[in-house]
Amino acid sequence: MDLSHLLKPAAVRVLGYATSKKRLFQDLAEVAQIVYGLNATETVDALQERESLGPTGVGHGVALPHARLHGLDRVVGVFIRLEKPLDFDAVDRQPVDLVFALLAPKDSGVEHLKALALVSRTLRDAATCKKLRANSDPAALHAVLTEARSTQAA
């Protein structure tokens, strides 16, 4: 599995800020609707339902919200870099500015977990995060994300 299979270039965005976690989920859902044809309301609801089980802010300014949805045939991703970090109830209590949402089919099983592990490994790399924070161009961000794992050992 490779990030380029999960993340279309059009699903990478830079936002000035989000006023709340719910607003960020709405932004993620709008991108998912435009790029992948998903129902935005169902996407927001699924992300909020998963978040209610425990925050998906994994620390160091990174959040990995994820949800399972009907109407998908494969795992897909949406990446947003926030110019102004958002309080996300992250495990280290730090605000997040790098958000990679994974959306998976309801019955995806192990594929969803593999994708989550791949994104987690990629965004745990300090050099990758530094490059992401240094760029405001969505095409450059997509390149950083999709090239990161191909240069790291599995």
- The rounded distance, in Å, linking the Cα atoms of 40 and 33 is 6
- Cβ-based neighbours of 62, under 8 Å, separated by 6 or more: 90, 96, 98, 99, 100, 123, 124, 129
DSSP alpha helix (H) spans, 7-96:
21-36, 40-51
- The rounded distance, in Å, linking the Cα atoms of 59 and 40 is 27
Annotated catalytic residue 66: yes
Kind plus residue range of the DSSP H or E element containing 79: strand 76-86
Catalytic annotation, pick one of 66, 70, 112, 142 = 66
Residues known to be catalytic: 66
